[in-house]
Amino acid sequence: MTRRLMKRKTLDRIGLLFVALVMVSPVVLFFIWMISLSLKYEIENGAYPPILIPENFAWTNYVQVFKENNFFLYFWNSVLVTGAATLLALIIGVPAGYGIARLKAERAAIVIMIARMTPGLSFLIPLFLLFQWMNLLGTLWPQIIIHLVVTVPIVVWIMIGYFETTPMELEEAASIDGATPWQVFRLVALPIAKPGIVVAFILALIFSWNNFVFGIVLASRTTRTLPVAVYNMLSFEQVSWGPLAAAALIVTLPVLVLTLFAQKQIVAGLTAGAVKGG
Amino acid sequence: MAPVTLHNIQKHFGAVSVIQDLSVDIADGEFVVLVGPSGCGKSTLLRMVAGLEEVSGGQIRIGAREVSDLPARDRDIAMVFQNYALYPHMTVEENMGFALKLKKANPADTAQRVKKAAEILGLEKLLDRYPRQLSGGQRQRVAMGRAIVRNPQVFLFDEPLSNLDAKLRVVMRGEIKAMHQRIGTTTIYVTHDQIEAMTMADKIVVLHDGNIEQVGAPLDLYDRPANLFVAGFIGSPSMNFLEGKVEEGVFRTDKGLILPLPANATPEEFAGRPLVYGIRPEHIRVGDQGIQGRAAIVEGTGSEIFAKLDCGSEQISCLFRERIDIRFGDTVGISIDPKQVHLFDKASGRRL
Amino acid sequence: MASVSIEAAADKRGVKGSKPARLAPNYWPFVVPALIVIGAVIVFPWVFTLWMSVHSWTLGQEQTFAGLDNYIRLATDFRFWESLWHTLIFTVLAVVVPLFLGTLAALIFDAQFPLRGFLRGVFVMPMMATPVAIALVWTMMFHPQLGVLNYLLSLVGIGPQEWIYNRYSVIPSLVIVETWQWTPLIMLIVLGGLAAVPREPYESAEIDGANAWQKFRYLTLPMIAPFLMIGVIIRSIDAIKSFDIIYAMTQGGPGTASETINIYLYNTAFSYYDIGYGSAMAVIFFVIIIALSFVLMMVRARTNWSDVVDR
């Protein structure tokens, strides 16, 4: 009896595993095909029927991406824009999330929420004009500033949710212990909110890194970020798939690695009612 | 250490009045318990003393200082919270030393004081632990230690024992009291549990709906409750209340039960007025006074027997200290000690 | 500014002896930097867009006040209505399909089986991947002659498709990509809902003799309904403003067959530099999104956000 039950359970599990593998297969096959494309020479990429595992690995595709397309510069641009926009957002957004949560400032929270729902494109027209007048186009500043449109609301929104759940008693205890409001924040609220800050940081980082729409309008030849650079390769080198796939992989690889390592935080942040930015 | 004076304190949240014109004097070193049912305003009052809540009117004085407008950090008080409010990211030692660190006290001196407080509370071996690694009772001790290290003017306790199990609560009750006797700091302690109030307080303040019902020493409140509310609130099981009138030298309840009058009562004084007759269950004995009741509920704990008797249409709770053999449905004769009877005016609720 | 209003409120309450007691910590200094930034990069653009939308202004020329001309032009612009229609079809499909698949995936990942955590991690990856990079690879896969998808179809005996190169199949093809990328989000939301579902009702249903479908239909579905609703809201807002994938793969083509409002807006403002007209479009787009979110919020007024946040 028990043995039959156990056998049944094992079978169930194997069945579920099989179904799960089927569900995951579009993801796995896609990425495998992406890698395959990036490692094949043109002849094999143009072959019919398609070839999955190339005869000779075309590592030159990757070399070519960096050599001929200024990818080191674009990678560095991406790092600067995303890094600055994320750090600024944390510096501004974490205290703001704290303040809004403590003030129960519903209206501020609603503004943040609407900002998250607004299409990024609608910020682009006015800010584009503004940057033009300020003569900032051609530098990285316009992109750093406009990425704040994405990163600040994410950080504030996640931090509001986080600070709302941290117990008020701790902060009261600290103020009785003689802490000023700033000390309460720095010495008690902030250390406790560390997990929330990590979540906000990772999501802001990813959404900023992935952002494309701001770059196509604001970036010049020397200030492109990676997503824009990849897109530009598409329009100029429609035929050579190998380097194109290699470039695509280079752009998205950091994010995918981060996703695998910080899965828990990403899940926490996204299920907290997060709408993707931009 | 300092006396605390609450003078004409008021508190309202919007249109809702929580505390109306309340004044209490707390002497230097006194252990005062604010007790009352939930929603009576006791926690709000404590939070106003702490500076976590603003007063809507009146003054709070700690020592000679008027503190009503001072933020909590400048009041020189320490508070133990219901959920302990230990800083989860600090060790026990850091928790206890946090206030002194904020004051930029000499670290060696801080360590010394933390060590001393830890000794008093038996926490020496736990100083490197984090709050999550402690049991409920240990957390409670750390919270107290945090208060002691401060050496403040006043200790405030906000229902500190309500998260502990019954046995530990009794132990911690004793420890808090012992700590007070040792250190002697003025203490204000909030609880809804009248047993905590009775066992710990030098002075009890009974609050109800934002008003003081009575202030006094524990036994005063037990022996001479000012009104029906205090009489019902203090003492467990609760006092029996029977409504009726004084007629022809006896008390006749509205449902027709006849009971003896208090020892010193002059019947003429109350004749005809609607009254409430109060007698505590523990002041009723088995005896023959002409009052008979059928046992509706019998609960024995070994040391005592609690019974609810149907006497006519009235129900009377009794607590017998002697071992007697009563079972459900038995008829029992009882006698009431006239010296322990209280009479209350039904309209005002006041004791006569 | 806020502390003033707090005091004013206190005065209105008629505080006796009105003292300047302000014991509550002042939290506004924490918020002010963010308010400045949000004012500059979020609120200012909103207001400026509104201003521009009532002006006739092509970049490089003088702007002139145009009143509601831009809006009137929108109402009669066939291409705009067409883009609205495309947006609607795309959004409905890109909500319904991921909703169905995501719920299914959540039901599977809620159960116990080997490698569950790892597979869930893999399943979530598309959601975080850079959309442009993904779009690029999909474009190659959709290639009518050399694409791997037509080869796979041929294996099961289906003839080659034109995918994004045909005006009738372009939107469904884009929905495939959108579904591939965003099904995991629905999965995560529903998974959160399933985690909050209590065990006992299932045990008693088991005793009452319910089969698997009945248990899903009468127990699981009602209990996760609020989460499905959240999924619908988030997915709708995301899908309606989807840009990266559509722009990178088709730029609204072939012709204008996949031109959604967002793409048309982009083209108007940054290809034709018709700033005034583009702004009017942005305003309408903004209103549509806010109205949509508002309607969806009303529908699910039963539960609030914090229910989800806490889990």
State residue B91's pLDDT score.
94
Q: Could you tell me the end-to-end alpha-carbon distance of chain C, in angstroms, rounded to an integer?
A: 35
Bridging pattern class, strands B57-62 and B4-13 = antiparallel
Lowest-confidence region among A171-180, C70-79, C173-182, C218-227: C218-227
Give every strand in the sheet of B240-247, ordered side by side. B258-259, B250-253, B240-247, B275-279, B342-345
C34: alpha, beta or left? (left if phi > 0; alpha if psi -120 to 50): alpha
Helix (H, G, I), strand (E, B) or coil at B186: strand
C120: chain A residues, CB-CB within 8 Å:
263
Paired residues of B78 in beta bridges:
B155
Residue C311 pLDDT grade (very low, low, confident, very high; cuts 50, 70, 90)? very low
Closest chain B residue to C17 measured between Cα atoms? B57
pLDDT at B150 (0 to 100): 87
Of B51, B52, B56, the CB nearest to C15: B56
pLDDT for residue A107 = 82
What's residue C26's pLDDT?
A: 84
Distance CA A35, CA A25 (A): 15
Per-residue pLDDT at B79 exceeds 90: yes
Please report whether residue B44 resides in a domain: yes
In a domain? residue B352? no
Name the band, by pLDDT with cuts 50, 70 and 90, for residue C8. Answer: very low
Q: Which two tokens stand for residue A162?
A: 């986080």
Give pLDDT, residue C21: 46
Q: Does C147 or C173 have the greater pLDDT score?
A: C173
How far apart CA A51 and CA A36 sit, in angstroms, is 8
Query: Is residue C11 predicted with pLDDT exceeding 50?
Result: no
Backbone angles phi, psi at B31, to 5 degrees: -105, 105
Residue B2 above 90 pLDDT?
Answer: no
Instruction: Give pLDDT, residue B260.
Output: 86
Question: Mapping DSSP to helix (H, G, I), strand (E, B) and coil, where does residue C252 land?
Answer: coil
Hey, are the CB atoms on A48 and C146 less than 8 Å from each other? yes
Quick check: B198 pLDDT over 80? yes
Flag whether pLDDT at C86 surpasses 60.
Answer: yes
Provide the 3-class DSSP secondary structure of residue B342. Answer: strand
Which pairing describes strands B186-191 and B31-35: parallel, antiparallel, or unpaired? parallel
pLDDT at C6 (0 to 100): 35
C: neighbours with 3+ CB pairs under 8 Å? Answer: A, B
> What is the full DSSP assignment across A83-99?
HHHHHHHHHHHHHHHHH
Residue C7 has pLDDT above 60, yes or no: no
Closest CA to A247 of A28, A44, A34, A77: A34
Band (A8; pLDDT cuts 50, 70, 90):
confident
46-85 of B, contacting C, C-beta below 8 A: 51-57, 68-72
Alpha-carbon distance A179 to A175, whole Å?
A: 5
Q: What is the pLDDT of residue A114?
A: 84
A152/C37 touch (CB, cutoff 8 Å), yes or no: yes
In-domain check, residue B302: yes
Prediction pTM value: 0.85
DSSP annotation of B340: G
Give the separation between CA A91 and CA C59, rounded to whole angstroms: 36
The nearest CA of chain A is from the CA of C61 a distance in Å of: 13
Cβ atoms within 10 A of the Cβ of A194, count?
11
Residue among B187, B13, B330, B232 at smallest CA distance from C24: B13
- Listing DSSP states for B49-61 in one string gives HHTSS--SEEEEE
Q: What is the DSSP letter of A274?
A: P
Confidence of residue B266 (pLDDT cuts 50, 70, 90): confident
In degrees, rounded to 5, the angle at the alpha carbon of residue A122 between the alpha carbons of residues A117 and A127 is: 120
Residue B60 lies in a domain: yes
Tell me the nearest-neighbour CA distance from C309 into chain B, angstroms: 22
Q: Within this chain, do residues B106 and B253 fall inside the same structural domain, yes or no?
A: no
Between residues A144 and A237, the one the model is more confident about: A144
Distance from CA of C157 to the nearest CA of A (A): 14
What per-residue confidence (pLDDT) applies to A263? Answer: 81
Tell me the average pLDDT of chain A.
87
State mean pLDDT over C157-182: 92
Question: What's the average model confidence in pLDDT over A85-95?
Answer: 96
User: Torsion-angle region of residue C199: left (phi > 0), alpha (psi -120 to 50) or beta?
Assistant: alpha
For the CA atoms of C85, C90, C91, C93, what is the dihedral angle to 10 degrees? Answer: 120
- In the 8-state DSSP scheme, what is residue B344? E
Q: Is the CB of residue B35 less than 8 Å from the CB of residue B208?
A: no
Residues of C with CB under 8 A from a CB of B: 13, 15-17, 19-25
pLDDT tens for residues C256-281? Answer: 999 999 999 999 999 888 999 999 99
pLDDT at A236: 63
pLDDT at C71 over 70: yes
Average pLDDT (A3-28) is 88
Chain C CB contacts of A247 under 8 Å are 133
* Interval C241-257 mean pLDDT: 91
C-beta atoms of A172 and B85 within 8 A:
yes
Output the six-digit token pair for C290.
């806010």
Does residue B285 have a pLDDT over 60? yes
pLDDT score, position C63: 80
B41 and B105: one domain? yes
How far is Cα C198 from Cα C201, in angstroms, rounded to an integer? 7
Q: Please, how many CA atoms are within 13 Å of residue C268, restricted to the half-sphere of its CB?
A: 29
Asked whether the beta carbons of C196 and C311 are under 8 A apart, the reply is: yes
Q: Which residues of B touch A168 (CB under 8 A)?
A: none
| Contact of A89 with A204, CB cutoff 8 Å | yes
Ranges of H-type helices in C241-274: 244-249, 261-266
B227 and B277 co-located in one domain:
no
Count CB-CB contacts under 10 A for residue A111.
20
Residue closest to B292 by CA, chosen among B312, B319, B321: B312
Count the domains in chain B: 2
The answer to whether the Cβ–Cβ distance between B73 and A176 falls below 8 Å is yes
Supply the pLDDT for residue B212: 93
pLDDT at A260 over 90: no
**Cis amide bond preceding A142, omega within 30:** no
What pLDDT does residue A120 have?
85
Q: Are B104 and B246 in the same domain?
A: no
Find chain A residues with C-beta within 8 A of B81's C-beta.
169, 172-173
Per residue in B199-231, is it b (16+ CB within 10 Å) or e — as a string? ebbebbbbbbebebbbbbebeebbeebbbbbbb
- pLDDT given for residue A152 in this prediction: 93
Whether this model's ipTM surpasses 0.90 comes out as: no
- In Å, what is the CA distance from C260 to each residue of C252, C253, C267? 7, 10, 11
Tokens of B203: 């002075």
Q: Are C129 and A248 in contact (CB under 8 A)?
A: no
Asked if B226 and B273 sit in the same domain, the reply is: no
Is the previous residue joined to C254 through a cis bond, with omega within 30 degrees of 0? yes
Return the closest-CA partner of residue A244 out of C173, C134, C177, C149: C134
- Report the pLDDT value the prediction gives residue A100, as an integer from 0 to 100: 92
Q: What's the CATH number where B285 sits?
A: 2.40.50.140
The residue among B46, B73, B130 with the most chain A CBs within 10 A of its CB, best to mutate, is: B73
Q: Is B17 on the interface with C (CB under 8 A)?
A: no
> How would you classify the pairing of strands B240-247 and B250-253?
antiparallel
Q: What are the two backbone dihedrals, phi and then psi, of residue C26, each rounded to the nearest 5 degrees?
A: -85, 110
Statement to judge: residues B200 and B100 lie in one domain = yes
Task: Compute the distance between CA of residue C84 and CA of residue C264 in angstroms, rounded to an integer.
Answer: 10
Q: What mean pLDDT do residues C8-16 have?
A: 37
Calculate mean pLDDT across residues C11-18: 38
CATH of the domain at B72: 3.40.50.300
Distance CA C262, CA C243 (A): 6
Q: How far is CA B278 from CA B35, B37, B212, B292, B342, in A?
A: 21, 20, 21, 18, 5
CA atoms of C145 and A205, how far apart (whole Å): 38
Long-range contacts of B308-311, Cβ-Cβ distance < 8 Å, separation of 24 or more: B309/B334, B311/B257
* Structural domain harbouring B299: 240-345
Given B233, B268, B293, which residue is the final one in a domain? B233
Which conformational region is residue B259 in: left (phi greater than 0), alpha (psi within -120 to 50 degrees), or beta? Answer: beta
Band (B327; pLDDT cuts 50, 70, 90): confident
Please check whether the domain covering C77-309 is classified as CATH 1.10.1370.40.
no
- On the CB side of A58, CA atoms within 13 Å amount to 23
The Cα–Cα gap between B146 and B78 comes to 8
Question: pLDDT tens across A182-238, in order?
Answer: 999 999 999 999 989 998 999 999 999 999 999 999 988 899 999 999 998 876 655
B135: pLDDT strictly greater than 70: yes
Residue that terminates a domain, selected from B210, B233, B256: B233
Cβ atoms A224, A212 nearer than 8 A: no
Tokens 């796995």 sit on residue: A28
Quick: pLDDT tens for A36-63: 999 988 888 877 788 888 888 888 889 8
A174 in B contact zone (CB under 8 Å): yes
How far does C33 lie from chain B, in Å, by closest CA?
25
Q: Are B221 and B282 in a shared domain?
A: no
Mean pLDDT of A131-151: 92
Looking at the DSSP bridge assignments, the partners of residue B227 are B350
pLDDT of res. C215 = 87
Position B338, amino acid:
P
What whole-number percentage of chain C has pLDDT above 70? 89
On chain B, the residues whose CB falls within 8 A of the CB of C25 are 71
Confidence of residue C301 (pLDDT cuts 50, 70, 90): low
Provide the pLDDT confidence category of residue A278 given band limits of 50, 70 and 90: very low
Q: Has residue A6 got a pLDDT over 90?
A: no
Whether residue C4 has pLDDT greater than 50: no
| C119: CB partners within 8 A, 6+ apart | A20, A21, A24, C109
Structure tokens that stand for A254 in this block: 């950091």
pLDDT of B322 above 70: yes
Does C9 score more than 60 pLDDT?
A: no
In a domain, B350, yes or no: no
CB contacts, 8 Å: A173 with chain B: 79, 81, 85, 87, 146
Q: What mean pLDDT, rounded, does chain B reach?
A: 90
Please tell me whether residues B145 and B268 are part of one structural domain: no
Give residue A45's pLDDT. Answer: 81
pLDDT tens digits, A205-220 = 999 999 999 999 998 8
Looking at residue B205, the DSSP 8-state letter turns out to be E
Q: What is the pLDDT of residues B15-67, one digit of tens each?
A: 888 898 899 999 999 999 999 998 888 999 999 999 998 899 999 999 989 99
| Residue numbers of C between 34 and 73 with CB closer than 8 Å to A | 34-35, 37-38, 41-46, 48-49, 52
- Confidence at residue A1, expressed as pLDDT on a 0 to 100 scale: 54
Residues B227 and B91 in one domain: yes
Contact A165 C286 (CB under 8 A): no
CA separation for the pair B53, A73 (Å, rounded): 56
Contacts of C23 in chain B (CB under 8 A): 51-54, 69-72
Please identify, among B187, B206, B233, the residue that sits at the C-terminal boundary of a domain. Answer: B233
Same domain, B206 and B145: yes
